[in-house]
Structure 1
């Protein structure tokens, strides 16, 4: 089953790595962005199954982002991802889904 994930972080280098990791498996489709506006746009245009929030997002921004994303898709799963190896990422994603 194809699942779509969206990583939101503030570091462009990490965002690029996350894009690669989120597309590493044939059953995964992944997007990775640095801005809230990009994230919201993707959620309007794509069916996103899981959002991963990365480093650099302050609490006020995170709270607002969660509200906006859940207004688009109330059942959207949103988790924190602050790094670690690809094995950790895989485990976090599988647990959330």
Structure 2
């Protein structure tokens, strides 16, 4: 499977921890997770990541701001809006994006 680097942000710590655990299960996948958008925007180099995964609890305006900044700094960045639905749905969302990245 393709090596992927994820940047994950969400306000629900329990869900954030689950997402990190699910992402780290796959060989070659790595991730950084944040629950504070100010910390993310102040410290993250978006060029280091392939996929930005937005999870639950973020204000819509903040989501749009993070997406805009991420794409401006890394035009190759792919974005997943994942608000639940289980690990199968998440994996399918990722595999769908990663197949697009290969082409």
Which residue number in structure 2 is paired with residue 52 of structure 1?
Answer: 53
Deviations 1:33-84 (A, max 9, x none): 1122343323x17620001111111111111111111122122111210112
What is the aligned length?
Answer: 96
Unpaired runs of 5+ residues, structure 1, are: none
Which residue number in structure 1 is paired with residue 73 of structure 2?
Answer: 72
Between structures 1 and 2, the one with greater helix share:
2
Unpaired runs of 5+ residues, structure 2, are: 99-103
Question: How many angstroms apart in 2 are the aligned matches of 1:3 and 1:54?
Answer: 18
5 Å-filtered alignment, 1:1-97, equals 1-40=2-41, 41-42=43-44, 44=45, 47-97=48-98
Q: Which runs of 4+ in 1 moved over 2 A?
A: 37-42
- TM-score normalised by length of structure 1: 0.86
- TM-score normalised by length of structure 2: 0.82
Question: How many angstroms apart in 2 are the aligned matches of 1:33 and 1:22?
Answer: 14
